Structure 1
Amino acid sequence: MVRWDSLPEVEPTKITSYRLVNSRFPPIPLFDDVADAEEFEALHELQTRTNPRLLNQAGRIEFIPSSEIPFGIPGCSYAVSPFTHVNPEGSRFSDGSFGILYLADTPATALAEVRYHQQRYWSGVTGLAFDRILMRGLSCKFDQTGMMDMTQITLDDPVYDSNSYAAARVAGVKLKQAGVNGLKYNSVRSPGNVCWGLLTPKPVCSIVQSSHYEMIWDGKAISSVNKITSV
């Protein structure tokens, strides 16, 4: 078992990475329409009084300090959304009390990660013989300076357990409590590739749409994944 307080830092450099999100979730205008925290506070107060629908789209903004929001970057809402729409069931490195922006080194790695989780989800839906899931591909540039490197940990470590997130969540909570910006780790669903988990959106420089994909659920599994558009 790895000691989380002895992880090395990654090489300080800017990274281009990839992510997929369900196309039914649109960008959030509340974050994309302002340039700084002061403008955000004014617009948020206005929306509180006049447009509760947009507030629902923004999610639980109290989950993230405004000082951590990278206002003014392309695609700010894509960067912030995982931190205001937190899955209470958690994820690999989160116990459900905070959000994480998960990113992959290639589009293929992002597809492998998302395909696994989508198939697991749809397998729990009874009576569904067919569905077409549209995914929006995103290209993200961020600064990985100061993040922790877990890529030297081998895939047989409990942190990479395919079925249990228990060990990984212990690591994620400790790193979050320590104020670490994020971590780099080996992809479980695409061995040989790497992913990042950003514990704050602060390092993001831009995150923009790059393509669209469709995943076909045939009643038993995701039988195919097709790229349908590219920018």
Structure 2
Amino acid sequence: MNVDLPPVIKLASLTGYRLINSKFPPTSLFDDVADEDEFEALYELQAITNPRLQTELGNLNLVRREDIPFGISGCSYATGPFTHVNPDGSRFSDGQYGVLYMGDSIDTAIAEVAYHQSKYWQGVHGLDYDRLVFRGLKCKIGQTELHDATTISFNDPIYDENSYAASRAFGRELYQAGSDGLQYHSVRKPGATCWGLFTPRHVLSVIQSAHFEFIWNGEEISSVNKFTRA
């Protein structure tokens, strides 16, 4: 499918927010090294004694080593979306490549996650209550150039609330064109802005903030509570 690509916007920096399930801890090996050479040496050593290492790191073939921002705070958080790719895909991916999604505020990130968690748990029968804990992340991104999909009408099929057919075709077109990512309208929090990066190389830091408790009442995410852990 050929689509017209939106204009490129040059950003000196940006700050984005995302949430990840707290059952997925950061992968320390990414954070224990300063560069690619150290990573390769430590990976080779630990692979001998740690049979779970491949599961923890994910599929390293899905991200170029030179794109991994070794030495930054939260390197594992920056790299995780590209080595642990959801095979079911996402709005701008068909499951063949990763995307680092961020919102312009933690509230935007919460709105996006609450929608997707509700949709998932609505398909699980017999679960009347659950408590889901997510880790808030603040992402600092350095100078980058992104395709600006906020220039595309919110009525365009790439923003369809239920179907990802058009948005995935659009995302693959950008990805295959070598795009670093895109800026786009939040679908779950109208008026807000989101970003999706196709590479982690411009990430400067990812810092953990608060934790958020999502309450599932059997029908929907009924409340979200912020808390910190000692």
TM range (shorter): over 0.9
Task: Render the CA deviation track for 1:165-186: whole Å, top value 9, x for unaligned.
Answer: 1111111111111111110000
Structure 1 match to 2:25: 26
Structure 1 match to 2:148: 149
Q: Does the 8 Å contact 2:8/2:148 carry over to 1?
A: yes
Structure 2 match to 1:91: 90
Q: For structure 1, which runs of at least 5 residues remain unmatched after alignment?
A: none
- Please state how far the C-alpha of 1:33 moved relative to its aligned partner: 0.5
- Is 1:77 paired with 2:65? no
Q: Does the 8 Å contact 2:3/2:173 carry over to 1?
A: no
Structure 1 match to 2:188: 189
- Please state how far the C-alpha of 1:144 moved relative to its aligned partner: 5.1
Q: Does the 8 Å contact 1:95/1:169 carry over to 2?
A: yes
Describe the shift of the 1:35–1:214 C-alpha distance in structure 2 as closer, same or farther (beyond 3 A): same
Q: SS where residue 194 of structure 2 aligns?
A: strand
Q: Distance in 1 between matches of 2:114 and 2:176?
A: 30
Q: Distance in 1 between matches of 2:177 and 2:222?
A: 42
Describe the shift of the 1:20–1:101 C-alpha distance in structure 2 as closer, same or farther (beyond 3 A): same
Q: Does the 8 Å contact 1:47/1:55 carry over to 2?
A: no
Structure 1 match to 2:209: 210
Structure 2 match to 1:62: 61
- Please state how far the C-alpha of 1:63 moved relative to its aligned partner: 1.0
Q: Which shifted more, 106-115 or 166-175? A: 166-175
Q: Does the 8 Å contact 1:210/1:230 carry over to 2?
A: no
Q: SS where residue 9 of structure 2 aligns?
A: coil
Q: Return the letter of the residue paired with 1:116.
A: Y
Q: Return the letter of the residue paired with 2:32.
A: D
Q: Does the 8 Å contact 1:149/1:183 carry over to 2?
A: yes
Q: Which shifted more, 169-178 or 187-196? A: 169-178
Task: Render the CA deviation track for 1:75-95: whole Å, top value 9, x for unaligned.
Answer: 000000010001111000001
Q: Does the 8 Å contact 1:14/1:144 carry over to 2?
A: yes
Structure 1 match to 2:4: 4
TM-score, with structure 1 as normaliser? 0.96
Describe the shift of the 1:10–1:230 C-alpha distance in structure 2 as closer, same or farther (beyond 3 A): farther
Q: Distance in 1 between matches of 2:143 and 2:214?
A: 30
Aligned length: 230
Q: Return the letter of the residue paired with 1:30.
A: L
Q: Does the 8 Å contact 2:185/2:191 carry over to 1?
A: yes
**Cα RMSD between the aligned structures?**
1.6
Q: Return the letter of the residue paired with 1:204.
A: V
Q: Which shifted more, 180-189 or 141-150? A: 141-150
Structure 1 match to 2:136: 137
Q: Distance in 1 between matches of 2:123 and 2:150?
A: 32
Q: Return the letter of the residue paired with 2:207.
A: V
Q: SS where residue 42 of structure 1 aligns?
A: helix
Q: SS where residue 4 of structure 1 aligns?
A: coil
> Could you tell me the percent identity over the aligned residues?
57
Q: Return the letter of the residue paired with 1:167.
A: A
- Please state how far the C-alpha of 1:8 moved relative to its aligned partner: 1.0
- Please state how far the C-alpha of 1:230 moved relative to its aligned partner: 7.7
Q: Distance in 1 between matches of 2:117 and 2:21?
A: 10
